[in-house]
């Protein structure tokens, strides 16, 4: 097994395990917080991270299949994110807690709005079932799509990190906060830096 395959496999395993760790560390009494944390972690770190690199890194020659996986992961991330936000909103309503009183809350709302807009933009501009816009326009739009995608992914990580920090500090769990910060940074750095296309799908 090649080194790049080992790295990709390791990052995938870590990205899958992080949501499970999030569930494990939280207090059993805070069921809605457990669900919110697990869902948002799954959406932002696992699904969004995999979707971000799927189009370039999956060893699949068929461009349509890679594009379908990329879109499916991002759409799933958006849906899971929406459910996670609904759960915490419902929890605050029932508990009588005010909304949008922290940086984490505002970042979360901004993330899901920007993520949704990016998905709509990508679905319209790069729809494989439509010739609109034409190939020339798509080539012009692609760098913007990639650049904004990196920005939205980074925004999502900031949201996730602020949530973990807020939970860790409010429950006097600095070690856990540091641990998950390192794990998530490992995934994010790989996603942003190690983006060399797989040899199976490099475009000539």
Residue 196 clears pLDDT 60, i.e. is over it: no
Provide the pLDDT for residue 156.
86
What six digits make up the tokens of 97? 């807690």
Provide the pLDDT for residue 153.
85
Provide the pLDDT for residue 183.
67
Provide the pLDDT for residue 71.
92
Provide the pLDDT for residue 204.
38
Angle, helices 174-193 vs 3-25, to 10°: value is 150
Q: Which residue has the tokens 């494989």?
A: 128
Task: Please report the sign of the dihedral spanned by the C-alpha atoms of residue 185, residue 158, residue 175, residue 18.
Answer: negative
Q: How far apart are CA 104 and CA 60, in angstroms?
A: 37
Provide the pLDDT for residue 162.
84
Provide the pLDDT for residue 78.
93
Task: Please report the sign of the dihedral spanned by the C-alpha atoms of residue 50, residue 183, residue 178, residue 28.
Answer: positive
* pLDDT-based confidence at residue 113 (cuts at 50, 70, 90): very high
Q: Is the peptide bond before 133 cis (omega within 30 degrees of 0)?
A: yes
* pLDDT-based confidence at residue 111 (cuts at 50, 70, 90): very high
């Amino acid at each position: 097994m090649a080194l790049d395959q080992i790295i990709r496999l390791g990052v995938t395993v870590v990205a899958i395990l992080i949501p499970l760790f999030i569930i494990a560390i939280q207090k059993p009494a805070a069921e809605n917080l457990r669900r919110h944390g697990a869902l948002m972690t799954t959406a932002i770190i696992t699904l969004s991270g995999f979707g971000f690199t799927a189009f370039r890194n999956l060893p699949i020659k068929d461009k349509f299949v890679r594009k379908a996986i990329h879109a499916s992961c991002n759409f799933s991330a958006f849906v899971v994110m929406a459910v996670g936000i609904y759960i915490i909103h419902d929890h605050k309503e029932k508990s009588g807690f005010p909304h949008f009183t922290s940086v984490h809350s505002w970042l979360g709302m901004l993330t899901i709005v920007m993520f949704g807009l990016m998905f709509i933009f990508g679905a319209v501009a790069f729809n494989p079932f439509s010739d609109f816009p034409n190939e020339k326009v798509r080539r012009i739009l692609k760098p913007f799509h990639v650049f904004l995608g990196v920005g939205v992914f980074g925004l999502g990580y900031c949201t996730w990190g602020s949530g973990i920090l807020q939970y860790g500090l409010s429950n006097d769990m600095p070690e856990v906060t540091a641990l998950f910060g390192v794990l998530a940074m490992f995934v994010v750095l790989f996603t942003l830096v190690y983006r060399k296309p797989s040899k199976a799908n490099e475009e000539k």
